[in-house]
Chains A and B, each alone.
Chain A
Amino acid sequence: MSGAPVVFSDAVQAEDAGIVLVHQEILLAPDLTVAQNLFLGRELSRFLAVDDKRMNRRTAEVLARVGSTARPWTVVGALPLAQRQLVQIARALLDDRKVIILDEPTAMLANDEVDALLDIVRSLRAQGVAVLYISHRLEEVEALADRVTVLRDGKMIGTWAAETLDQRQMAELMVGRELSMLYPPKRDPTTAAPVLVVEDLLVDHGKIAGSFSVRPGEVLGIGGMIGAGRTELIEGLMGLRPSQAGAIRVGGTAATKPDVKALMAAGLVYLTEDRKGKGLLLNEGLGPNLILQAMDMINPRLRLDRQKEAAAVKTAVQEYDIRVRTLSIEAGQLSGGNQQKLLLAKVMQADPSVVIIDEPTRGIDIGNKSQIYRFIDDLVRAGKACVVISSELPELVGLSDRVLVMRGGRFVAELTGDDITEQNVVYAAASSGKDTEGRIRA
């Protein structure tokens, strides 16, 4: 620090020295207020009681500094994700810091929120704080950084002045080879009868509603800001939250009710955006994870078939290129990209005809990304259908044959062909004009 070498044995020492890490995941106590979270473990007190007044005032100052509109006395659990992220950054700024490390701070944010965050980082820089900004979103790195360091497979590749690198060069350094086409070429438009038809789906008592269909051989993208209700709509479709549907037809047969198991049997599966919280059993091995969902379809008997399970693991590791040191590894020990591939393999065990993937590549590196894009392309070219929810615009645009845009719990636009551009998606997702639909469809 300041020229002298230092070694920290724990986070408290580092914080005392003026270095603080803002973790990628939101680490706040949801039942406490913003101020209580900020001062957690270092509460200000007056005589024996905590001094809420002073803490709330200090909190309001720091919140203003990061441009947050949250109130100090709001309970964190009631805040939207983006605000929680800002609270987390505010927490780091409470004491004077020399160095702030931000680990993927935008992973949970939608585009306009990202811009706001970047402005905050810039203002921190102007205030004389050194910021170490870890991100796999190259456009952010390009927009922010003065110097860029690239790591690959746990090794340092090098450091460059930011103006000497563009996004493509950064990506190539990260992958370690020339970037071949990241997105597979688009497929020819199809006119086949839809394999999934959803009519008048109402979720969360009508707060979110929609109808859509997808044809075999098609990638349907669903775009929109975070909080627009895309994930909720699909979770409602799968019966994972309160919902009712006018009709759900999978492959021509009507599904009786929104239910994960019944829909899987009909040929529809859903891959959650929250692979650690809702997708994989992190303390379990590859086999239990792989067969958990389709267990009854693969094996109708009561008894487990362990040989079949072991064989399925080997096939999946090969087909989905899950990189493991040993087959007895636990899911939690895999890298994010390999977890995502395991999750993909898991839902594919049911041999579905329609796959809905929520944020297919969130938080994974570019090599695994391109592999997952190729899986999706292979799937669709084999006559299956895929619905992709994505907050990464290049991904949404690069993958989809057709895009539905959601805003405020409703679909507000449908884009096809050359109309699928980042600008059109953002315009439909963000603008509040009533004429959006007409303009984009025109």
Chain B
Amino acid sequence: MSSAEIATLPESEGFRIRWGELAPFIALGVIILLGTMINSNFMSANNILNVITRSAFIAIIGVGATFVIATGGLDLSIGSMLAFVVGIMIMAMNALAPSLGPWAIPIGALVALVVGSLCGLMNGLIVTLGRIEPFIVTLGTMGIFRALITYMTDCGSLSIDRSLRTAYRPVYFGDFLGVPYPVIITLVIALLGAFILYRTKYGRRVTAVGSNSDVARFSGVHVGRVRTMAFVIQGFCVAVAAICYVPRLGAATPTTGQLWELQVITAVVIGGTLLRGGKAHIWGTVAGALILEVIANVMVLSDMVSEYLVAAVQGAIIIIAMLAHRFTSSR
């Protein structure tokens, strides 16, 4: 085409609203509206901050899961991995506490980040070098991590040293200018994730590998490296979540993080990321995590439905989200 013709081309085909990308935010808005109508306490600043803070874990891990899923992978081990990292971190902090005092906390956190990333690296290398389906690999490591934390806690509980509790407490319960730290950490992780995914060459390759790994390979992209790196990012995010988790309960137990993988995958998928890879929405994932937590909160506040049914409603949400996606994208 001539340059004159190109200059007259429209930048896009009009302002077509991308319902697929807006859907999670609209859904979140609707649920919040419902919550406000059902219970006046719902919109209180206290409750809202509480809900957002509690959604932080799923949102942080979800950012990592968005990378793995965008490359066409899946990580089922994240819940057990969280428990394992929490266990290792508590053990490291407890061992360091007598000699280092409060400094055991940052060192322990650093240990957690390294261990989490290594766990992710292990998942990634088995998937790529072993050429095994991620579903199977992470099903295996899920069992391994879960057994390890059960062993480490001796099927009881592994608590953090009393001397560290007061110093560590604010990481979950503290705030900066009224914004709780977990919320700030979630924002930072999501911003970082969005930057990597949308603004770097690595992010481009993640989408390329996810939408068609053959095309990526034929274009000289090292598909294995891109996939492995996504698992490492996932491990790192799990470790960040672990760092926020410990001050909340102060202990690791064999049930820590149990079934979180399902919540995380639900958050990612209702956020608009395709399970078969290719399209990734970091902010959608964050909205997805919020939706799950807000629904639970509304149900607890409402009295109408038993809170034991929270998981059922969350399960229904993922199916409805997929149906809505099918409906909006088939046109």
A→B interface (CB under 8 Å): 238, 240, 259-261, 264, 270, 272, 277-284, 288, 291-293, 295-296, 299, 302-304, 306, 314, 317-318, 321-328, 346
Contacts and interface: CB of A to CB of B under 8 A. Distances in A.
B208 A292 contact: yes
Interface in B213-247: 214-222
A299 B204 CA distance: 13
A322 B9 CA distance: 13
A280 B208 CA distance: 10
Contacts of B207: 281, 284, 288
A317 B8 CA distance: 13
Contact of B215 (A279, A291, A328): A279
Contact of A324 (B9, B199, B201, B217): B9
Given A325-B9, A326-B11, A284 B211 contact: yes
A292 B9 contact: no
B178 to A, nearest CB: 33
Contacts of A346: 219
B13 interface: yes
Contacts, number: 96
A153 B208 CA distance: 31
Given A240-B218, A326-B11, A304 B201 contact: yes
B121 to A, nearest CB: 20
B6 interface: yes
A237 to B, nearest CB: 13
B1 interface: yes
B215 A278 contact: yes
14 contacts: A259-B220, A260-B217, A260-B220, A277-B215, A279-B218, A281-B207, A281-B208, A282-B212, A292-B219, A293-B220, A303-B200, A321-B1, A327-B9, A328-B12
Contact of A326 (B13, B203, B217, B278): B13
B40 interface: no
Interface residues of B, number: 31
B10 interface: yes
B219 A288 contact: no
Given A261-B220, A302-B201, A318 B3 contact: yes
A437 B202 CA distance: 50
Nearest to A331: B215
Contacts of A324: 1, 9
A278 B214 contact: yes
Given A317-B1, A323-B1, 18 more contacts: A240-B217, A270-B218, A278-B214, A278-B217, A281-B215, A288-B204, A288-B207, A292-B216, A293-B219, A303-B200, A303-B201, A304-B203, A314-B3, A318-B2, A325-B9, A326-B13, A327-B9, A346-B219
Contacts of A279: 215, 218
Given A260-B220, A261-B220, A328-B11, A304 B2 contact: no
Contact of B13 (A282, A303, A306, A325): A325
Contact of B199 (A293, A303, A328): A303
B279 interface: yes
B272 to A, nearest CB: 14
Residue from B212, B216, B219, B221 whose CB has the most chain A CB atoms within 10 Å: B219
Contact of B200 (A288, A291, A302): A302
Contacts of B216: 292
B279 A322 contact: no
Nearest to A287: B204
A238 to B, nearest CB: 8
Contacts of B221: 292
Residue from B6, B200, B279 whose CB has the most chain A CB atoms within 10 Å: B6
Given A260-B219, A303-B199, A326 B208 contact: no
Interface in B1-24: 1-3, 6, 9-13
Contacts of B3: 314, 318
B7 to A, nearest CB: 9
B31 to A, nearest CB: 30
B8 to A, nearest CB: 11
Nearest to B3: A318
A426 B327 CA distance: 52
A291 B221 CA distance: 12
Contacts of B205: 292, 295
B9 A295 contact: no
Given A260-B219, A264-B220, A328 B13 contact: yes
A341 to B, nearest CB: 11
A88 to B, nearest CB: 23
A281 B278 CA distance: 9
Residue from B12, B215, B218, B220 whose CB has the most chain A CB atoms within 10 Å: B220
Contact of A317 (B6, B204, B214, B278): B6
